[in-house]
């Protein structure tokens, strides 16, 4: 990169499990450079800082000229998964102390499910939950005034018990936040430094359990996130002086580091959101609007849908068994990954794969770290898709005999050949992932044949061709470098802020002016957040959302309008849009009145200027990149197959299947009767040969 | 089969050998389809019962009506045996009459839609879905009258009719049906959701067949049924002894002053078949608690439970049905004669699970759970809003899950699979009531090494004049404990009037007039305990006292004495435990019912403030 005097830079960072990927973008030219360093899971900020140092040195960039650092992080997710978040105290309305303990009373698992269910303890424990004497009504009226002296005594008790964060969530507080604020004031005075989250701010929506659990999760990850962001920011300031830090939210928007620290519940899917926004950006470069993203890692696969250039979002975020009401990109996960373990239950003799995973330790048998059970990766080794003649990453040797021994257990149990067993494992795991892709597409009322498939993650490129074939979604796209994709995601997305409120009202009992007025107010609130983070008001774009249902329904459908369309079409547009969508999703409409549930304004900053680096061009013959030949087993046949080094492939190369394309952290399999073409950005575009 | 099935394609599917992997793929694809059926209905339904509480049951069968995926067994065979008309492509049946389908659905509130699935003109299976309607007419709002003596009083009876024929909805018939319901717009919307749901699964099954071919698909269904049969046959051989075991349990009363009704069952194995004989079960009630027990559904209860206890990886389907024989005496409470009333059959249906646990646990004590699962308590409240609009709430209650070999029971959780509560803020917004307390009742779970779950106490403050009905049980007999565990506490219903006067309401009552500022305490029962309570960790007991799940006095039942700061007083605990151990019998009875039935009846009035019921047939 030739830095000019005036050059300033933005930097995208994705801290993954194995590698931390960075890209640096010249704000003036849009030119991009990449770097990769090993991750430091015990303190992910170390790798981020190492990476920044490396990339600046490598490309001769003065760290002082970095204006923005854009970051997707899994710190909040991991804290929730590992259950090592804060000790949270909870204040509820009198009579509701057990709100998290009783929850929604559901026992999963069908008939007899209760016999074997293991319930996780709530994230705010019952002994750290206290009740306030107070009551707000459904219209916001104060029915019982707050007993301040009583709650003060109870908060003193919580402070003595050593809570590290406090949640206040009162019944009907979404209609009137007064009591929650009063208690927060008392808590601030009693226990300065302890972060307090109140439900009327975190999620001012109806449904006491969901509002409480969401606010508690906010408290639970609050200390660990603010510590992480503070560390990062302090050290970034030393390194780069003037750069502002922005964090990718679960819904794919960016927020300032300071706001992120206040509402970390919005960061639970920050990591996967990077992959989706990165896919979106790559798709735009190559002119595609409809994409199914397919991110297959070691233990799970995340899929999502981008339709008409917009990632689908939803109002919930789920991490393991914890589900909260925070907007996120609609990522569906299945417990199917490279490390998923295959087994044959004694009684049914059926072949099952996952959701149990060998994880990073001991890992697949083929990794030689002590794993003995057969995994999907081992099946790939047995079939030759992961050649034992090449290393994975920089150093990892493939132990083929160990993989054969592991998969052999399945062959013995089913009394079939080793390769049949391995192909069986691949078919089952493929079917599980297909189920997730269907949930993200067909179940949402769209036809996967109108979509292309974008595959990333360590194992995604291996399965891209196969899944695209089953779903008939072409082409299958393998972008360069799975981790880089997430870093692109962070660096190329827009600032985003939103404000919402519950407004349960029959549409024929309100009017365009009233709703427009409320939406405008929400838009102003959301814009203020972005303006504080340095965006120019003139660059902001506002989108309105209305959650609508038929009076009496419990679930709503979210409809989205740009502000101009809303002001022009008004509520009549909303009604029509709802009926159309209901018909599309559920095949019928009702002659019932419509009801608004929530109103929301989403404000976005301008799209950054970034252009993808173009790969060198070729004559279309990839022979220069062929590094060896190998035998692979597909659909019962042994086939001689060339192995290519992705780094040596050029734009316009056509790679006919069967073929294996190897790169440092992923392997792409191209099936017979298919061809992979390298486009000018280095993506592999797989299509069937007619 | 008297029904005539029309297929435009005369070709018969051929059996082909399918590799095991394809079988697993198709199995997964069908299971995904079932989940999609649930999702479609819950997103479109209007009544809180279907929408929030998930009182719905999907089903996909093979062409003969054998369940491939589902939950409550097949409704299709009962229908096919009784339906006398023509079945052809483009038809969706609607029915709610238990007597027209051998009890495959068990009361009129459950509206069942059934659709034959055709592929290329050939019948390839059935899709079915039912949901509980908040109201289906009859003498009481919510259509669950305890006072009914005949099904004619319980609502509109819909024998199998073609609500959709040749793809067209019969609006005239629907108009007639809805005119008979108090909440017609809910019924309409919920019915549309049911129809959308079965249509969806029909489409998905056809897509699977497009992918794999009809011969492969149908051969796979046979193989899935066969797999299940082989697995269940092994479980039965290992878990059910040839020697006969017997068990009996009770439903306390029928809401008409008669009870307790005995459900008696014996179980034994002959070769690889298990036999259940309900001989000794009390005769049918004059009221509406009769449960027309469909054999297929009982088999599914049994199979599902065995699978959960012994090998949760097995997918359950109808494959094992010929391994189970069920003998039900005619005109008993499990096989009432038409037109006996059946609307409030939930208590007997639930008690079947306790009976099954009692039977299975005798031969496999390590798999023995305590009692308390299951029933489905209801709260019904109706009247007019201040502006004159009619309101009608039907809400399912929750209680204490029994202690299990695996651990404690859950406090205030669902006694039926997958049900969830309706958010209280939602109820307060749409109904004139306020919920002032919603928490489990300390000490109501039976003491044990594993504690029974606590019952739930919900305090409803009434805000508009109206009437309430209550549907509950286990107010008299106890949810029994096992292996030294104590029984759970019984349920109670207390109405505190605005003037402060208190009335203990029966567990089953209807049309109780209520006025603003009356408060109803709806207290459900706790689950029974498992194992010797003196073996429970004292620190765990102390923690639960601090959590408010056990009281300080309640801790004494575990031989645990606490200090003032609510931590364990080690010395006093050791002394109390030694003393209690000395008093305990040398070996525990397998079941602790809290006394004999005669003893319980004798104490009834003094303990519950309610008159004891008259014994049936006496």
The sign of the dihedral angle between the CA atoms of A452, A456, A462, A463 is: negative
Output the pLDDT for position B381: 97
CA distances from B199 to A479, B45, B85, B193, B206 (A): 39, 15, 21, 10, 11
Distance CA B68, CA B316 (A): 8
B250 — pLDDT class (breaks 50, 70, 90): very high
Residue keyed to tokens 């269907």: A438
Q: Are A93 and A146 spatial neighbours (Cβ–Cβ below 8 Å)?
A: no
Share of chain A above pLDDT 70, in %: 95
| Nearest beta carbon to residue B304 from set A102, A112, A554 | A112
Nearest to B360 by CA among B321, B403, B401, B307: B307
Average pLDDT over residues B226-246: 90
Distance CA A462, CA A684 (A): 12
Lowest model confidence (mean pLDDT) among A181-190, A582-591, B444-453: A582-591
| Angle ∠(B218,B223,B228) on CA atoms, nearest 5 | 130
Distance CA A406, CA B521 (A): 59
Distance CA A2, CA A5 (A): 10
Chain A 77-136, residues with CB within 8 Å of chain B CB atoms: 94-99, 101-102, 104-119, 125-127, 135
Residue keyed to tokens 């996780």: A120
Task: Please determine, for residue A161, whether its predicted confidence score (pLDDT) is greater than 70.
Answer: yes
Q: Are B124 and B209 spatial neighbours (Cβ–Cβ below 8 Å)?
A: yes
Q: Are strands A452-456 and A476-478 parallel, antiparallel or unpaired?
A: parallel
Q: What chain A residue is nearest to B40 in terms of C-alpha separation? A: A586
Lowest model confidence (mean pLDDT) among A213-217, A308-312, B86-90, B254-258: A308-312
State pLDDT tens for residues A71-91. Answer: 888 888 878 877 889 999 999
Share of chain B above pLDDT 90, in %: 74
Question: Which chain B residues are closer than 8 Å to A558 by Cβ?
Answer: none
Q: Which two tokens stand for residue B387?
A: 């502006």
Q: Which two tokens stand for residue A497?
A: 């802020």
Bridge partner residues of A670 (DSSP): A659
* Radius of gyration from C-alpha coordinates of chain B: 25
A97 CA: distance to closest CA in chain B (Å): 7
CA distances from B551 to A62, A125, B480 (A): 66, 18, 21
Buried b / exposed e across A302-313, counting CB within 10 Å, b at 16+? Answer: bbbbbbeeebbb
Task: Please determine, for residue A262, whether its predicted confidence score (pLDDT) is greater than 90.
Answer: no
B52 — pLDDT class (breaks 50, 70, 90): low
User: What is the ipTM metric for this complex?
Assistant: 0.91
Chain A 374-413, residues with CB within 8 Å of chain B CB atoms: none
| Nearest beta carbon to residue B312 from set A97, A101, A116 | A116
B1 — pLDDT class (breaks 50, 70, 90): low
Q: Please tell me if residue B331 touches chain A, with a CB cutoff of 8 Å.
A: no
Output the pLDDT for position A242: 73
State pLDDT tens for residues A326-337. Answer: 888 888 878 788
Q: Are B322 and B350 spatial neighbours (Cβ–Cβ below 8 Å)?
A: no
Q: Are B45 and B131 spatial neighbours (Cβ–Cβ below 8 Å)?
A: yes
Residue keyed to tokens 């199979």: B303
Distance CA A181, CA A204 (A): 13
Q: Please tell me if residue B418 touches chain A, with a CB cutoff of 8 Å.
A: yes
Residue keyed to tokens 């079941």: B591
**CB-defined contacts A:B, below 8 A:** 230
Bridge partner residues of B496 (DSSP): B502, B519
Q: Please tell me if residue B395 touches chain A, with a CB cutoff of 8 Å.
A: no
Distance CA A661, CA A647 (A): 9
pTM of the model: 0.86
Please name the residues in contact with B349: beta carbons below 8 A apart, sequence gap of 6 or more: B106, B291, B293
The sign of the dihedral angle between the CA atoms of A392, A396, A401, A403 is: negative
Chain B 531-560, residues with CB within 8 Å of chain A CB atoms: 543, 546-549
Please name the residues in contact with A299: beta carbons below 8 A apart, sequence gap of 6 or more: A335, A337, A339, A340, A357, A359
Chain B 277-316, residues with CB within 8 Å of chain A CB atoms: 300-301, 304-305, 307-309, 311-315
Q: Which two tokens stand for residue B111?
A: 């509206």
Distance CA A398, CA B579 (A): 64
Query: Is B186 close to A208, i.e. CB distance below 8 A?
Result: no
Q: Please tell me if residue B391 touches chain A, with a CB cutoff of 8 Å.
A: no
Lowest model confidence (mean pLDDT) among A32-36, A199-203, B485-489: A32-36
Q: Please tell me if residue A139 touches chain B, with a CB cutoff of 8 Å.
A: no
Lowest model confidence (mean pLDDT) among A175-179, A348-352, A480-484: A480-484
Question: Which chain B residues are closer than 8 Å to A102 by Cβ?
Answer: 398, 411-413, 421, 438-440, 456
Distance CA B472, CA B372 (A): 12
Output the pLDDT for position B618: 47
Q: Which of A116, A138, A348, A425 to mutate to test the interface with B (most CBs of B within 10 A)?
A: A348
Q: Please tell me if residue B227 touches chain A, with a CB cutoff of 8 Å.
A: yes
Task: Please determine, for residue A566, whether its predicted confidence score (pLDDT) is greater than 80.
Answer: yes
Chain B 557-596, residues with CB within 8 Å of chain A CB atoms: none
Q: Count other Cβ atoms within 10 Å, centred on residue B325.
A: 14
Tell me which H or E stretch contains A276.
helix A270-285
Nearest to A21 by CA among A41, A35, A42, A40: A35
State pLDDT tens for residues B145-197. Answer: 999 999 999 999 999 999 999 999 999 999 999 999 999 988 998 999 999 99
Q: Please tell me if residue A421 touches chain B, with a CB cutoff of 8 Å.
A: no
Query: Is B193 close to A582, i.e. CB distance below 8 A?
Result: no
Bridge partner residues of A587 (DSSP): none
Lowest model confidence (mean pLDDT) among A184-188, A281-285, B213-217, B376-380: A281-285
HEC states along A137-175? CCCCCEEECCCHHHHHHHHHHHHHCCCCEEEECCCCCCC
Distance CA A102, CA A83 (A): 20
The DSSP string of A480-529 is S-HHHHHHHHHHHS-BEEEEEEEEEEEGGGS-HHHHHHHHHHHHHHHHHH
Question: Which chain B residues are closer than 8 Å to A111 by Cβ?
Answer: 71-72, 300-301, 304-305, 308, 417
Average pLDDT over residues A600-606: 86
Output the pLDDT for position A613: 67
Q: What chain B residue is nearest to A126 in terms of C-alpha separation? A: B547
The residue among B345 and A74 whose pLDDT is bigger is B345
By three-state DSSP, how is residue A442 classified?
helix
Q: Please tell me if residue B389 touches chain A, with a CB cutoff of 8 Å.
A: no
Nearest to B31 by CA among B56, B59, B62, B1: B59
Query: Can you say how many angstroms the Cα of residue B233 is from the centroid of all Cα atoms in its chain?
Result: 26
Distance CA B144, CA B134 (A): 10
Q: Please tell me if residue B230 touches chain A, with a CB cutoff of 8 Å.
A: yes
Output the pLDDT for position A99: 98
Output the pLDDT for position B127: 95
Buried b / exposed e across B335-349, counting CB within 10 Å, b at 16+? Answer: bbeeebbbbbbbbbb
Q: Are B299 and B73 spatial neighbours (Cβ–Cβ below 8 Å)?
A: yes
Query: Is A111 close to B42, i.e. CB distance below 8 A?
Result: no
Task: Please determine, for residue B593, whether its predicted confidence score (pLDDT) is greater than 80.
Answer: yes
Question: Which chain B residues are closer than 8 Å to A107 by Cβ?
Answer: 401, 410, 413-414, 417-418
Share of chain A above pLDDT 90, in %: 41
Distance CA A582, CA A211 (A): 26
| Nearest beta carbon to residue B305 from set A107, A111, A349 | A111
Average pLDDT over residues B283-308: 90
Mean of all residue pLDDT scores within chain B: 92
Question: Strand runs (DSSP E) across A605-683, as ranges?
Answer: 626-634, 637-645, 654-656, 659-663, 666-670, 674-678
Residues in chain A: 690
By three-state DSSP, how is residue B375 classified?
coil
Q: Are B291 and B375 spatial neighbours (Cβ–Cβ below 8 Å)?
A: no
Query: Is B412 close to A137, i.e. CB distance below 8 A?
Result: no
Q: Which of B192, B439, B444 to mutate to test the interface with A (most CBs of A within 10 A)?
A: B439
Q: Please tell me if residue B81 touches chain A, with a CB cutoff of 8 Å.
A: no
State pLDDT tens for residues B440-462. Answer: 999 999 999 999 999 999 999 99
Lowest model confidence (mean pLDDT) among A637-646, B223-232, B357-366, B597-606: B357-366
A153 — pLDDT class (breaks 50, 70, 90): very high
Q: Which of A350, A413, A433 to mutate to test the interface with B (most CBs of B within 10 A)?
A: A350
Average pLDDT over residues A491-503: 80
Residue A86 DSSP one-character state? -
**Helix, strand, coil: what percent of chain B each, to 5?**
35, 25, 45
Output the pLDDT for position A4: 52
Question: Which chain B residues are closer than 8 Å to A588 by Cβ?
Answer: 44, 192, 195-196
Average pLDDT over residues A548-562: 82
Distance CA A233, CA A256 (A): 11
B315 CA: distance to closest CA in chain A (Å): 9
């Amino acid at each position: 990169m030739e830095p000019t005097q005036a050059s300033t830079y933005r930097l995208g960072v994705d801290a993954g499990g194995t590698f931390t990927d960075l890209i640096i973008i010249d704000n003036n030219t849009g030119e991009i450079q990449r770097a990769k360093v090993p991750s430091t899971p015990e303190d992910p900020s170390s790798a981020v800082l190492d990476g920044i140092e490396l990339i600046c040195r490598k490309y001769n960039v003065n760290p002082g000229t970095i204006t923005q650092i854009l970051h997707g992080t899994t710190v909040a997710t991991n804290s929730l998964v590992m259950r090592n978040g804060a000790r949270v105290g909870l204040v509820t309305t009198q009579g509701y102390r057990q709100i998290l303990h009783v929850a929604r009373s559901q026992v999963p698992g069908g008939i007899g499910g209760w016999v074997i269910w293991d319930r996780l303890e709530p994230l705010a424990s019952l002994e750290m939950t206290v009740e306030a004497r107070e009551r707000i009504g459904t219209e916001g009226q104060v029915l019982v005034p707050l007993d301040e002296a009583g709650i003060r005594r109870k908060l003193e008790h919580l402070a003595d018990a050593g809570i590290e964060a406090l949640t206040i969530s009162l019944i009907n507080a979404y209609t009137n936040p007064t009591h929650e604020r009063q208690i927060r004031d008392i808590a601030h005075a009693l226990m300065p430094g302890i972060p307090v989250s109140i439900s009327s701010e975190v999620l001012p929506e109806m449904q006491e359990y969901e509002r409480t659990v969401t606010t508690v999760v906010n408290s639970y990850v609050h200390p660990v996130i603010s510590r992480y962001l503070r560390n990062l920011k302090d050290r970034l300031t030393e390194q780069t002086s003037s750069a502002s830090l922005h964090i990718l939210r679960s819904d794919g928007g960016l927020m300032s580091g300071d706001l992120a620290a206040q509402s970390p519940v919005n960061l639970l899917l920050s990591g996967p959101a990077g992959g989706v926004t990165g896919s979106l950006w790559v798709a735009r470069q190559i002119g595609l609007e409809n994409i199914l993203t397919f991110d297959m890692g070691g233990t799970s696969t995340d899929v999502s849908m981008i339709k008409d250039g917009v990632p689908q979002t939803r109002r919930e975020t789920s991490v393991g068994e914890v589900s909260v009401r925070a907007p996120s990109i609609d990522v569906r996960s299945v417990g199917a990954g490279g490390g998923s373990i295959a087994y044959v239950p004694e009684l049914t003799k059926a072949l099952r794969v996952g959701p149990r995973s060998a994880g990073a330790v001991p890992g697949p048998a083929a990794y030689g770290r002590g794993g003995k059970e057969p995994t999907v990766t081992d099946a790939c080794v047995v079939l030759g898709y992961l050649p034992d003649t090449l290393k994975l990453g920089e150093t990892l040797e493939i132990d083929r005999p160990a993989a054969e021994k592991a998969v052999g257990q399945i062959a013995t149990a089913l009394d079939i050949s080793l390769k049949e067993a391995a192909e069986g494992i691949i078919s089952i795991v493929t079917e599980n992932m297909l189920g997730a892709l269907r949930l993200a597409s067909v179940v949402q009322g769209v036809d996967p044949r109108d979509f292309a498939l974008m595959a990333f993650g360590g194992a995604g490129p291996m399965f891209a061709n196969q899944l695209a074939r089953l779903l008939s979604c072409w082409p299958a796209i393998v972008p360069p470098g799975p981790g880089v994709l997430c870093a692109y995601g962070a660096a190329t997305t827009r600032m985003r802020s939103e404000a919402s409120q519950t407004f349960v009202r029959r549409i024929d009992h309100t009017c365009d002016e009233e709703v427009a007025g409320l939406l405008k107010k929400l838009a102003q609130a959301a814009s203020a957040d972005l303006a504080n983070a340095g965006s120019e008001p003139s660059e902001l774009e506002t989108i309105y959302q209305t959650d609508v249902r038929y009076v009496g329904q419990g679930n709503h459908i979210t409809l989205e309008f740009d502000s101009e369309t809303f002001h022009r079409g008004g509520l009549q547009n909303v009604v029509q849009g709802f009926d159309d969508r209901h018909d599309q999703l559920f095949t019928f409409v009702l002659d019932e009145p419509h009801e608004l549930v929530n109103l929301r304004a989403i404000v976005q900053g301008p799209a950054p200027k970034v252009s993808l680096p173009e790969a060198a061009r070729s004559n279309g013959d990839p022979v220069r990149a062929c590094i060896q030949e190998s035998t692979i087993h597909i659909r019962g046949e042994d086939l001689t197959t060339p192995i290519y080094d992705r780094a040596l492939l050029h734009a316009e190369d056509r790679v006919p299947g069967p073929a294996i394309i190897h790169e440092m952290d992923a392997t792409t399999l191209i099936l017979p009767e298919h061809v992979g073409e390298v486009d000018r950005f280095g993506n592999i575009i797989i299509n069937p040969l007619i | 089969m008297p029904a005539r099935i029309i297929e435009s394609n005369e070709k018969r599917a051929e059996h082909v050998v399918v590799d095991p992997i394809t079988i697993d793929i198709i199995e997964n694809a069908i299971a995904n389809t079932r989940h999609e059926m649930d999702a479609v209905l819950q997103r479109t339904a209007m009544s809180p019962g279907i929408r929030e509480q998930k009182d719905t049951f999907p089903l996909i069968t093979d062409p003969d009506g054998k369940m491939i995926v589902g939950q409550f067994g097949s409704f299709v065979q009962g229908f096919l045996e009784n339906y006398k008309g023509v079945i052809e492509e483009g038809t969706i049946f609607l029915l709610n009459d238990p007597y027209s389908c051998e009890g495959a659905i068990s009361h009129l509130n459950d509206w069942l839609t059934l659709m034959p699935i055709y592929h290329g003109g050939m019948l390839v299976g059935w899709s079915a879905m039912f949901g509980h309607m908040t109201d289906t007419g009859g003498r009481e709002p919510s259509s669950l009258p305890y006072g009914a003596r005949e099904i004619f009083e319980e609502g509109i009876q819909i024998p199998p009719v073609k609500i959709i024929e040749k793809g067209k909805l019969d609006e005239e018939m629907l108009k007639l049906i809805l005119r008979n319901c108090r909440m017609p717009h809910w019924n309409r919307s919920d019915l549309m959701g049911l129809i959308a749901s079965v249509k969806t699964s029909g489409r998905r099954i056809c897509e699977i067949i497009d992918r794999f071919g009809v011969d492969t698909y149908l051969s796979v269904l046979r193989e899935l049924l066969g797999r299940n049969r082989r697995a269940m046959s092994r479980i039965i051989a290992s878990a059910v002894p040839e020697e006969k075991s017997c068990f009996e349990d009770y439903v306390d009363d029928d809401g008409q002053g008669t009870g307790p009704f005995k459900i008696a069952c014996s179980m034994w194995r002959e070769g690889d078949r298990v036999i259940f004989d309900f001989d000794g079960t009390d005769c049918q009630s004059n009221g509406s608690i009769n449960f027309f027990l469909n054999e297929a559904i009982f088999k599914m209860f049994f199979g599902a439970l065995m699978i959960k206890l012994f090998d949760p990886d097995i997918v359950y389907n109808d494959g094992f049905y010929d391994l189970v024989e069920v003998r039900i005496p005619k005109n008993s409470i499990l096989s009432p004669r038409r037109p006996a009333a059946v609307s409030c059959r939930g208590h007997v249906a639930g008690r079947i699970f306790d009976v099954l646990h009692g039977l299975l646990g005798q031969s496999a004590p390590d798999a023995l759970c305590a009692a308390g699962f299951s029933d489905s308590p209801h709260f019904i409240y109706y009247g007019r809003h201040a502006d004159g609009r009619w309101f009608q709430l039907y809400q399912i209650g929750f209680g204490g899950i029994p202690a299990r070999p695996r651990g404690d029971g859950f406090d205030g959780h669902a006694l039926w699979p997958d049900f969830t509560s309706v958010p209280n803020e939602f109820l307060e917004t749409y109904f004139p009531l306020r919920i002032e307390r919603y928490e489990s009742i300390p000490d109501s779970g039976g003491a044990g090494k594993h504690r029974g779950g606590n019952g739930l106490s919900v305090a409803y403050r009434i805000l508009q004049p109206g009437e309430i009905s209550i549907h509950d049980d286990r107010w008299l007999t106890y949810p029994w404990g096992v292996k030294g565990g104590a029984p759970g506490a019984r349920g109670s219903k207390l109405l505190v009037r605005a003037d402060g006067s208190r009335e203990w309401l029966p567990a089953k009552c209807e049309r109780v007039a209520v006025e603003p500022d009356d408060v109803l305490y709806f207290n459900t029962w706790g689950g029974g305990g498992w194992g010797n309570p003196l073996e429970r960790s004292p620190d765990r007991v102390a923690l639960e006292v601090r959590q408010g799940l056990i009281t300080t006095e309640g801790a004494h039942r575990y031989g645990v004495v606490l200090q003032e700061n609510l931590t364990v007083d080690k010395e006093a605990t050791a002394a109390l435990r030694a003393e209690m151990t000395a008093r305990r019998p040398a070996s525990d009875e397998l079941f602790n019912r809290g006394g004999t039935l005669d003893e319980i009846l004798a104490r009834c009035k003094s303990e519950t403030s309610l008159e004891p019921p008259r014994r049936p047939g006496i």
